[in-house]
Structure 1
Amino acid sequence: MQMTGAGLGALGFTLLWVSGLAVASQEDAPHGYRIAQELLVGDGTVLEVLEDRRITAQLHAQSWGSGLDEETFDESTDSEHQPQLEARVRLVSEVGEVLAEQSLGYPLAKVEKAPLSGLPYPAFFLTVDQTAPMGSYSGPATQILAPTQSRLEPVLYRDENGEQRPLAMAQTGKAAWQILPSASGATESIAQVSSAPASEGDDFVTTYRIYRWVDGQWTAASRQQPGYWDMESEFPEPSAFP
């Protein structure tokens, strides 16, 4: 179903509503960008991911998780004279007004509905590909957005010391995360495992951290033990997390 009307037409903003997706005209993208992705939030607003217009959907898919630099662009794009643009995320009203916008620091990003039940707000995973050309400690980083509550500010969690921190998960050569099912219809938990060199010696320490929705907020618990984990290993059993 296509939305029409003088109000939208005056703003030059055409929005198609298809199976929970929003499709805006590329004319609404800032100069040098393309609208790479759009999702309906549920209150009439739309989450959009903007990427450099030279990054096609195919190039995005091919480059995800392996790093992207300006040399990747086709020579015909004259990228030497047009610096690579950082991806952006923005929240757009149903009449095309940009309510909030943030630069993401890297060229590739994506957004998806978070498969988390029982939350009092629609939640989304915003993932920014921070993969470096070399090394095993970088990769896609995911944060949770709650646009109806805090627009584009990341959802916070309370750590073991009672401090509020942005909830973010890493997927690298030495870190991974999964959503763990819950019982009795409660909100699912998010488990994160990561391994890093110990502060002394050549040994490694693995951290097992879990995020739980408790009494209206995200909380975290973690434990560490000597040992090594990497992406070639099986993801730890739920019992490994505190």
Structure 2
Amino acid sequence: MRRLWPLLLLPTVAVGAGLEQRQCFPAQSFKLCLYQDAGAQGLDDASDGDDERKPPLAQAELRIYDSQGGQLSRLRVGRLSKLERTRLSDGGKPVFLLEENHGAGFGSYSGVEARPFTVGEHGLVFVQPPRRDAAKPFVMARALKSDWRETRGGFLLLSCAPDFPASGQWDGQAFRVRYGRLKLQDGRWLLTERSERGFWENEGDFPAERLFPK
């Protein structure tokens, strides 16, 4: 299943005042660009942009342009967002990553969230694997106890969390590592996962691919 962000027709007046173009990816039928607050340049990646700046940083925007340069749509995203083009393609359409920084500078699960997507005829199409709550966007997290890697045909996903018992109190020592593989197969994104007792943090090496589901 893919989540579709519908096409947003824009008025002719200027929008996103104070935003500057940071990244741009041209394709055959469109151009995808990220615009960001001019004050965001040079900020540390550990910050999410929600500091005590006055005025605060404006939200960044993803904008889609047609082959003639006309602006078709836009989507407001996190203040310190980034775009990446992966090596993957979905039916000939390049797969991009929207990376939004939600890091607080501390905490095991605070970090950068990446969302794979393509650009369709009617807007942005974000990946949403089957049997996932459509109201909760699918993200790939990179933090102290989570990470991911691009691989042939998809992504390897890794996370570590406390292994709480069915009854009684957690002993503070038991953890469980979850291994996931998100892959594009016959035009569909499929997510397979498995977990086992263990412990992992991103200060160590990323596990070998053989440990992940096929």
Q: TM-score range by the shorter chain?
A: 0.7 to 0.9
Could you tell me whether the CA contact under 8 Å between 2:82 and 2:99 is conserved in 1? yes
Gapped runs of 5+ residues in structure 1? 1-11, 13-27, 72-78, 182-187
Counterpart-to-counterpart distance in 1, 2:109 and 2:90: 33
Offset, 1:66: 4.3
Alignment-derived partner of residue 5 in structure 1: none
The amino acid that maps onto 2:193 is S
Gapped runs of 5+ residues in structure 2? 1-11
Counterpart-to-counterpart distance in 1, 2:98 and 2:56: 24
Alignment-derived partner of residue 209 in structure 1: 180
- Equivalent pairs counted in the alignment come to 194
Offset, 1:219: 0.3
Most deviating of 45-54 and 145-154? 145-154
The amino acid that maps onto 1:130 is H
1:155 aligns with 2:127: yes
With the length of structure 1 as denominator, give the TM-score of the two structures.
Answer: 0.71
Q: 1:52 aligns with which of 24, 30, 37?
A: 37
Coordinate RMSD, CA, aligned: 2.5
SS of the counterpart of 2:88?
coil
The amino acid that maps onto 1:103 is R
SS of the counterpart of 1:208?
strand
1:98 aligns with 2:98: no
1:196 aligns with 2:196: no
Counterpart-to-counterpart distance in 2, 1:37 and 1:29: 18
The amino acid that maps onto 1:100 is S
| Higher relative helix content | 1
Alignment-derived partner of residue 151 in structure 2: 180
Counterpart-to-counterpart distance in 1, 2:125 and 2:187: 17
Could you tell me whether the CA contact under 8 Å between 1:132 and 1:138 is conserved in 2? yes
Offset, 1:207: 0.6
Offset, 1:147: 0.6
With the length of structure 2 as denominator, give the TM-score of the two structures.
Answer: 0.79
> Per-residue displacement from partner, 1:182-206 (whole Å, max 9, x unpaired)?
xxxxxx2310000111233122111
Q: 1:35 aligns with which of 21, 29, 33?
A: 21
> Per-residue displacement from partner, 1:43-82 (whole Å, max 9, x unpaired)?
1x211111112122xx14xx124443434xxxxxxx42x2
Offset, 1:41: 2.8
Offset, 1:146: 0.8
Could you tell me whether the CA contact under 8 Å between 1:141 and 1:168 is conserved in 2? yes
Alignment-derived partner of residue 225 in structure 1: 196
SS of the counterpart of 1:195?
strand
Residues 168/41 of structure 1: CA separation in 2 closer, same or farther (3 Å cut): farther
| Higher relative strand content | 2
SS of the counterpart of 1:30?
coil
Offset, 1:120: 2.9
SS of the counterpart of 1:54?
helix
SS of the counterpart of 1:239?
helix
Higher RCO, 1 or 2 (CA under 8 Å, sep at least 6)?
A: 2
